[in-house]
Structure 1
Amino acid sequence: MKKSLLITFIVLTYLIVGCTQEETMKESSEQNGKTEKVYAKEENTKGKKINEFTLTAQEKEWKLSPDKTIQALTYNGTVPGEEIRVKEGEVVKVHLKNTIKEPVTIHWHGVPLSNKQDGIPGVTQDAVPQGETYTYEFVANHPGTYWYHTHQNGVEQMDKGLYGTLIVEPKEGTNVDRDYTLVVDEWESGEKEEESNDGHMGDTHGSMMEHDMSSYDIYTINGKTYDNSKPLVVRKGDRVKLRFINAGYMVHKLHIPVDYRVTHVDGQKVNEPRKNEGTLLEIAPGERYDIEFKADGEGNFTIDRHGESEANHKMRVDVVYEEESITNQLNHTNSLETVDITKLGEGATAPFSLDDEFDIEYEMDLNATMDMSEGDMGMAWTINGETFPEVPPFKVNKNDKVKVTMKNDSRDNSTHPMHLHGHFFQVLSKNGEPLKGAPIIKDTLNVKPGETYEIAFLADNPGDWLFHCHDLHHASNGMVTMVKYTNFQPFYEDNGKVDNQPE
């Protein structure tokens, strides 16, 4: 009997101690692990050079071409808006002053800043009403080519010109002689709509399951057509950098008829970039590509857009030499090969690989459907069969390694340039084939019909972040989701005072 009692006592003691240890370990895990409260990072500006700007959102007449002037929405009166150019590690402090009737914001596209500075109405701030001022402040820790634009009803406000460029130069300098930024975009003249109303064109929006952009019939570089712009000037021997940014909603293919190298994608370096010989550079909405070439003095040349539209010959720019002796014009080659982002440079150590163990994996089925919610039949673009805000968010823990598979099944045959806020991601594979060349780090990736990409990112920037298609026609009609951090402590609450429209 005594022996039995002793055994029972030992067993009970073991169970109690074991349970206590388990609870202690659980509490410790909760305190130190993935259930602890997380906060938006603070921008540490102490002791750093502060570059201060004022960007005024204003309506202004803007001359796209000699025969077409529009009422544009601008930052500081120009399209694109004033260029912000700073050095790596410096502070960007911008006072946004709004003088137009609609509320506006500024989103710093591609910059992995604090969630507090992301400029998303209804998510990180109220949009700024007419007559009011709002200040953004962040440290430009990541050199590269970026841009800024409104995120309030962006499908309309950006379409009217409310965007600008942000260049963060590396501390060691760019090591180039000429540095030009070229923003491509497309505009509606209104003539297609007038023809349609007169019965001459029929339905300019195409068939029921077709995404049609034919009403965009003016193509520009830096807000101007070819016959309303100036050439890029170089000298023989110059090392020339061209920074291309797509601020529109269409994919543009630019033919560059000289040997060049793609040195950066979305601002991030390409390892040992390979030479491209007179190829087409394809730039999707939201993407940026930096190229470099040597001005060898063999002749002036033109960079132009390829495609079937009549507007193509307006999207071009001349590169001319200062030397009067160089007057010959280089002819375009017949090559129509498009630059392949999977073959931009040589292989190197990368943050992720397909062999990694990921904490979280998500799949995004990108598709289209007919929307009857408003009583009128129209297009809706979906993620996993849902439209925003009904799309379930990605839920991540701080420091999770996240893999996302994006597949474009859109029945309207449209492309989807998917943009992730607040993070860079690595492209792991395309259509099931692992990338073998230079690691490709981006924040915007164009997924064409039938294509599948695997990407990965580190969840190291707590907040509520948008992940959406940067053809804002698609975003404003559903193709938006969010990345939400577990136990994130909100700093903003939408109190309903402003009509916030995040897309």
Structure 2
Amino acid sequence: MPGFSRREILLGGAGALTAFAAGGLGARQALAAEHSLTLSRLNHSVLPETVTADMMSFSPSGPPPVLRFRKGQTTTIDVKNALDEASVVHWHGLRIANNMDGVPYLTQYPIEAGNAFRYEFTPPDAGTFWYHPHCNTLEQIARGMTGVIVVEDEEDAGFDSDLPLNIRDFRLGGDGQFIAFYKPRNAARGGTLGTVSTVNWQPQPVYELAAGSLVRLRLAVTDLTRVGRYTVSGAEALVIAIDSNPLPQPVAMDEIVLAPGQRADVALRVPNSEDEVATLVLKKPNGDKVLATFQPKGASAGRDLRELKPLKPNPVPQADLANAEVLDFVFGWSPGGDAPQASICGSLGYTFWSINRVAWGGDVPGPFDPLATMRHGKSYILRFRNESPNDHPIHLHGMSFQLLRSNKRKLPPLVTDTALLLEEETMEVALVADNPGDWAFHCHVIEHQKTGLAGFLRVEA
């Protein structure tokens, strides 16, 4: 944990803590930030003719804004906490400095009610990312706190427009009000699904797009739980990137599986006629569900998907597999029944899950031991073994890794930060430990994370 010792935290040091929570009081704070977020409660209409009370957002007036950064350019974001509880902001998938990663106590102190913090970092990669709280994570995300990040590359690929799609459920009753965010028996299994599917906080929105144009759809699954199968119907569409990293070759958008935390960039060729529509569809056993509709407007632009330039690979270092050290991680149920520690960042009160037979104790000052320690610049193979009959999207902060192999399926050589580990699957991935610090490592089914399936990996400089 940066800045102060655990003893200093527990014994006080109020002045130092206030300065840290405010993001520092140096000269750089005198300059206005490029972006600002206000963590807020609000009432907002999700279902027609109803207003959902007590939602949360990064804006006091509506859904979280799309944040747009430039690859290789430093950006600043001022975060003001207008909630009545603590929070932090994590920038999911961004390979940035550890002290800007937004994990309570591991990388920074929680931003308490009424306080502010300035984040400053330089995104090294282009693509689609997202942001969310990492404190009282389940409730704050459940109430709405998930937003999309777009990191622009230096060179334009040739799209006519760009449409971020924040895909997530809310757990609402028929009256449009929140119901229980989770059920303990589901948390100990696959997780608790939402009741209302939305895109950008809207059920089945319709987007008017120029007929015959080329649109970059940025799918970001920011849901708490749902592992879904997605397709585009009624138009030509190619998947061009997964989890911010370009594919070696685009593939047809017949059907892709995306778990919480994952993203997909899709090149859509809008139909030529206003009489034709394209749809984003969630495939479900009890019937497919249209999530969003893309309505052509005007005369056809006559574009062709072959006109697009290939996306540039992100500068993720490639592991030296011949000299890589293997680290094993077992994901499964918790061997003990100890309750997690009380925390300013909340607890569900259960420890159902564990990594390497150790359940995460909660977001508290610690001290905690890392699940593994890696040497800066060294190559590693991480072996993930799932002992449970449930799927786990495994997310690593601060670094990206390449999929290698599985005992259940053939894996494409994708570079990612969030890998879906299937039931009873063993998967190997490779990385270079190129980013010093303590990096959170957890399942992105948030009920699993908050009931023990979390820890951290240490990269020593």
TM-score tier, shorter chain, comes to: 0.7 to 0.9
CA displacement at 1:309 relative to structure 2: 6.1
Is 1:447 paired with 2:421?
yes
Q: Any idea what SS the aligned residue of 2:141 has?
A: helix
Retained in 2: the 8 A contact 1:91–1:138? yes
1:188 to 2:171 alignment: yes
> Hey, what's the Cα distance between the residues in 2 that align with 1:474 and 1:165?
23
Q: Which amino acid aligns with 1:320?
A: Q
Among 440, 450, 456, the residue aligned to 1:476: 450
Residues 1:159 and 1:350: Cα distance change in structure 2 (over 3 Å): closer
2:238–2:268 Cα contact (<8 Å) kept: yes
CA distance in 2, matches of 1:477, 1:184: 24
CA distance in 2, matches of 1:485, 1:206: 36
The two structures, once aligned, show a CA RMSD in angstroms of: 3.3
Alignment of 1:79-478 (within 5 A): 80-190=63-173, 210-214=189-193, 216-226=194-204, 229=205, 231-249=206-224, 250-257=226-233, 258-276=235-253, 279-297=254-272, 299-308=276-285, 313=289, 316-323=291-298, 352=318, 356-358=322-324, 360-369=325-334, 372-374=337-339, 380-389=352-361, 392-410=370-388, 413-431=389-407, 435=411, 439-478=413-452
Once the two structures are TM-superposed, the CA of residue 373 in structure 1 deviates from its matched residue by 2.5
1-side partners of 2:39 and 2:416: how far apart? 29
Shift in Å at residue 477 of structure 1? 0.6
Contact 1:80–1:183 (8 Å) recurs in 2: no
Give deviations 1:350-404, integer Å, cap 9, x for gaps: 965795220x211112112476324999561111222114775210111110110
How much does 1:302 deviate?
2.1
User: Could you say if the C-alpha distance between residues 213 and 398 of structure 1 is closer, same or farther in structure 2, counting changes exceeding 3 Å?
Assistant: same
Q: Is the Cα contact below 8 Å between 1:51 and 1:86 reproduced in 2?
A: no
Q: Quick one: distance in 1 between partners of 2:251 and 2:339?
A: 50
Give the C-alpha shift of residue 217 in structure 1: 1.1
Paired with 1:443 and 1:179, the residues of 2 have a C-alpha distance of: 23
- Residues 325, 96 of structure 1: alpha-carbon distance in 2 compared, 3 angstrom cutoff: closer
Structure 1: gaps (5+ residues)? 1-45, 198-202, 327-344, 489-503
The amino acid that maps onto 2:247 is V
**Structure 1's 170 and 391: CA in aligned 2 closer, same or farther, altered over 3 A?**
same
Range that drifts further, 285-294 or 84-93 = 84-93
Whether the 8 Å contact between 2:211 and 2:299 is mirrored in structure 1 is no
Distance 2:217 2:187 in 1: 39
Query: Which amino acid in 1 is paired with 2:101?
Result: D
Counterpart-to-counterpart distance in 2, 1:113 and 1:385: 29
- Offset at 1:213? 2.0
User: Which residue is equivalent to 2:58?
Assistant: 75
Give the aligned residue type for 2:279: T
Q: When the two structures are aligned, how many residues end up with a matched partner?
A: 400
Is the 2:277–2:296 contact (alpha carbons within 8 Å) kept by the matching residues of 1?
yes
> Do the aligned residues in 1 keep the contact of 2:349 with 2:451 (CA within 8 Å)?
no
Contact 1:237-1:294 within 8 A present in 2 as well: yes
Is this contact kept in 2: 1:354–1:428, CA < 8 A?
no
Name the residue aligned to 1:493.
none
Calculate the TM-score normalised by the size of structure 2: 0.78
Q: 1:478 Cα shift? A: 0.6
Give unmatched runs, 5+ long, in structure 2: 1-27, 302-310, 341-347, 362-367
Q: State how far apart, in whole Å, the 2-side matches of 1:112 and 1:182 are.
A: 22
Post-superposition shift, 1:430? 2.5
* TM norm structure 1: 0.72
Give the SS at the match of 1:127.
Answer: coil
One-letter code aligned to 2:284: G
For residue 43 of structure 1, what is the aligned residue in structure 2? none
What CA distance in whole angstroms lies between the structure 2 residues aligned with 1:309 and 1:372?
A: 36
Which of 1 and 2 has greater Rg? 1
Aligned partner letter, 2:94: V
- Give the fraction of aligned pairs with identical amino acids, expressed as a percent: 25
Match of 2:447, SS?
helix
**CA shift in 2, pair 1:146/1:325, >3 Å:** closer
Question: Structure 2 vs 1, CA of residues 316 and 99 (structure 1 numbering), >3 Å: closer, same or farther?
Answer: same
Matches of 2:91 and 2:61, distance apart in 1: 18
Q: Aligned pair 1:61/2:36, yes or no?
A: no
How far the C-alpha of 1:236 sits from its partner, in A, is 3.0
Q: Which stretch has the larger CA shift, 401-410 or 299-308?
A: 299-308
Listed one character per residue, the Cα deviations across residues 237-292 of structure 1 (whole Å, up to 9, x for unaligned) are: 3111100011112112223113322111111111121334xx22321000010011
Q: Is the 8 A contact 2:236 2:270 kept in 1?
A: no
Task: Look up the equivalent residue of 1:429 and give its one-letter code.
Answer: R
How many Å apart are 1:140 and its aligned residue? 2.2
Q: CA deviation at 1:139?
A: 1.2
SS of residue paired to 1:270: strand
